[in-house]
């Protein structure tokens, strides 16, 4: 039982089953939505710099495309599994539905560790992934994007391969591209900023001034960095961040009780969001074990690293002072931990709502790419704020009206929209 809750796909299915039962969804729709519609698994051969050939395993899972083309990132991670990708694809379906953008849910991945790869080797993985998937992805089918350990550069290599195979330009095939090469201004900030737009609204509802709050963050990558930036701009104080140490194969938490200096930390972090431990020590940071991020005496926790981080085993270490958890990462909280958090009446902004800013901006990027007309950054961020704010209020209003947890309310809205699309199309 405990083990099943640590399998992200079992966890995503358990969350879905709970909501489907409460919504009284018919059996055919349940059977359709608890599994991906299509999935692909394949091998990618890479000629390594040392002359050997290495085979990497790649995935693309298309969970549901009733509301529009699939949408979802591609992760590079050594512990990637098809079940993680399945869970993430399913969460993408709910994410696009909860912010009401006309896209479905997909996700991709490659089992690899970019820490040990040269740029040339990474480029071959990107091109190899596209060669395997070229007929089953595209602007009207399924649109990839960056995720953990993939960047704008990876997206551009993938786009280039896709266009070479198809013999025409197709910038709408992929999002998260570099600005100037079809990318949207604001995309880099979008997920982290989106987390804070929803957090800002939640604090308003709770009657708490952002400037009076402190936060502890797990992760220091794309999502965490921009979430921290905007939260600090709104007056909040981040007292600790944690990240992975590749050399020590463990995570550390960097704490400064007077508040972290995110620019200084950015200056000593690498492209994977790993902070240099020695340099952080010189800057006066306390260095604690990675899990310490969870036990800090703060009002707000922002998990923004990976799935399965707040579990039945560590949930009771959350400080009594915590009033809000904004889930920047996908699937950071297991169902066991969720129950305890609910009993303690901690306000949760669930992952597929909190971190939907990335896909929302990706959707804006796709629209701009298809028109070949690009908006100013302020316009992008304003549209993003509007979309995130209205999605947040739709969920919180339902939660209040029906006395639901925020996660359940978000599921009800998202699943209802997707189920309706399946019905309208005559699928179920």
- Strand bridging mode 237-245 / 250-255: antiparallel
Residue 85 is a binding residue for ligand NAD (CB under 6 A):
no
DSSP state of 274: P
Per CB under 6 A, which region of 45-53, 79-87, 220-228, 339-347 contacts ligand NAD?
A: 220-228
Q: What is the pattern of x (binds ligand NAD, CB under 6 A) and - over residues 318-347?
A: ----------xxx-----------------
Closest to ligand NAD by CB, 25 or 327 = 327
**Helices and strands (DSSP H and E) totals, the chain:** 15, 12
Residue 96 is a binding residue for ligand NAD (CB under 6 A):
no
Query: Using the rule CB under 6 A, which residue among 69, 171, 290, 350 binds ligand NAD?
Result: 290
Residue 69 is a binding residue for ligand NAD (CB under 6 A):
no
Residue 99 is a binding residue for ligand NAD (CB under 6 A):
no
Per CB under 6 A, which region of 201-209, 215-223, 376-384, 419-427 contacts ligand NAD?
A: 215-223
Query: Using the rule CB under 6 A, which residue among 33, 306, 324, 381 binds ligand NAD?
Result: 306
Per CB under 6 A, which region of 13-21, 60-68, 219-227, 368-376 contacts ligand NAD?
A: 219-227
Closest to ligand NAD by CB, 157 or 244 = 244
Compute the distance between CA of residue 36 and CA of residue 65 in angstroms, rounded to an integer. 10
Query: Using the rule CB under 6 A, which residue among 56, 162, 197, 220 binds ligand NAD?
Result: 220
Residue 84 is a binding residue for ligand NAD (CB under 6 A):
no
Shortest reach from residue 151's CB to ligand NAD, in Å: 8
Q: Report 179-198 residues binding ligand NAD (CB under 6 A).
A: 191
Residue 114 is a binding residue for ligand NAD (CB under 6 A):
no
Under a CB-based contact definition with an 8 Å cutoff, are residues 240 and 254 in contact? Answer: yes
Residue 80 is a binding residue for ligand NAD (CB under 6 A):
no
Shortest reach from residue 91's CB to ligand NAD, in Å: 9
Compute the distance between CA of residue 269 and CA of residue 279 in angstroms, rounded to an integer. 10
3-state secondary structure of 75: strand
- Locate tokens 């969001």: which residue? 273
Structure tokens at 107: 């996700």
The helix or strand, by DSSP H or E, that contains position 63, with its residue range, turns out to be strand 53-64
Query: In sequence order, what are the beta bridge partners of 400?
Result: none
Compute the distance between CA of residue 135 and CA of residue 24 in angstroms, rounded to an integer. 37
Compute the distance between CA of residue 144 and CA of residue 204 in angstroms, rounded to an integer. 34
Closest CA to 329 of 374, 285, 385, 273: 273
Q: Which residues, including other chains, have CB under 8 Å from residue 52's CB and lie 6 or more apart? A: none
Query: Does the annotation count 107 as an active-site position?
Result: yes
Closest CA to 396 of 380, 383, 382, 413: 413
**With CB under 6 A, what is the number of residues at the site for ligand NAD?**
26
Under a CB-based contact definition with an 8 Å cutoff, are residues 409 and 94 in contact? Answer: no
Q: Report 26-65 residues binding ligand NAD (CB under 6 A).
A: none
Query: Using the rule CB under 6 A, which residue among 231, 244, 285, 412 binds ligand NAD?
Result: 244
Q: Which of 71, 95, 107, 387 is catalytic?
A: 107
Compute the distance between CA of residue 210 and CA of residue 203 in angstroms, rounded to an integer. 7
Q: Report 145-174 residues binding ligand NAD (CB under 6 A).
A: 147-149
Phi, psi of 313 (to 5 degrees): -75, -35
DSSP state of 67: S
Q: What is the pattern of x (binds ligand NAD, CB under 6 A) and - over residues 354-393?
A: -x--x-----------------------------------
Phi, psi of 416 (to 5 degrees): -60, -45
Shortest reach from residue 205's CB to ligand NAD, in Å: 23
Q: Which residues are catalytic?
A: 107
* Binding region for ligand NAD (CB under 6 A): 147-149, 191, 218-224, 242-244, 251, 273-274, 290, 304-306, 328-330, 355, 358
């Amino acid at each position: 039982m405990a083990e099943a809750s640590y399998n992200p796909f079992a966890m995503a299915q358990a969350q879905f089953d709970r909501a489907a039962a409460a919504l009284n969804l018919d059996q055919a729709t349940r059977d359709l939505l608890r599994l991906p519609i299509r999935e692909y698994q394949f091998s990618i051969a890479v000629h390594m710099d040392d002359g050997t050939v290495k085979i990497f395993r790649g995935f693309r899972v298309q969970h549901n495309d009733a509301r529009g083309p699939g949408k979802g990132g591609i992760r590079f991670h050594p512990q990637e599994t098809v079940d993680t990708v399945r869970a993430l694809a399913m969460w993408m379906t709910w994410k696009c539905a909860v912010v009401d953008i006309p896209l479905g849910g997909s996700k991709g991945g490659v089992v690899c560790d970019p820490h040990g790869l040269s740029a040339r080797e990474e480029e071959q993985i990107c091109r190899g992934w596209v060669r395997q998937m070229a007929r089953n992805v595209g602007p009207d089918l399924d649109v990839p994007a960056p995720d953990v350990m993939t960047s704008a550069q990876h997206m551009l290599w993938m786009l280039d391969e896709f266009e070479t195979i198809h013999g025409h330009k197709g910038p709408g095939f992929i999002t998260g591209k570099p600005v100037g090469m079809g990318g949207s201004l604001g995309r880099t900030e979008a997920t982290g900023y989106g987390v804070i737009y929803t957090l800002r609204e939640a604090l308003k509802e709770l009657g708490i001034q952002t400037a009076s709050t402190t936060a502890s963050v797990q992760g220091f990558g794309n999502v965490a960095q921009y979430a921290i930036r905007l939260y600090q701009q709104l007056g909040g104080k981040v007292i600790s961040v944690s990240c992975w140490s590749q050399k020590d194969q463990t995570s550390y938490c960097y704490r400064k009780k007077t508040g972290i200096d995110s620019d200084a930390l950015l200056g000593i972090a690498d492209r994977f969001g790993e902070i240099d431990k020695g340099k952080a020590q010189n800057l006066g940071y306390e260095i604690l074990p990675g899990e310490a991020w969870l036990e800090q005496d703060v009002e707000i926790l922002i998990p923004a690293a990976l799935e399965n981080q707040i579990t039945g085993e560590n949930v009771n270490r959350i400080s009594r002072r915590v009033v809000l958890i904004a889930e920047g990462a996908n699937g950071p909280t297991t169902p066991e931990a969720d129950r305890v958090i609910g009993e303690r009446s901690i306000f949760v902004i669930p992952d597929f709502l909190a971190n939907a800013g990335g896909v929302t901006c990706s959707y804006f990027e796709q629209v701009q790419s298809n028109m070949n007309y690009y908006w100013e950054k302020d316009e992008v961020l304003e549209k993003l704020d509007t979309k995130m704010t209205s999605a947040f209020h739709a969920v919180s209003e339902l939660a209040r009206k029906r006395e639901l947890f925020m996660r359940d309310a978000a599921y009800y809205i998202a699943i209802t929209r997707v189920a309706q699309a399946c019905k309208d199309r005559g699928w179920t």
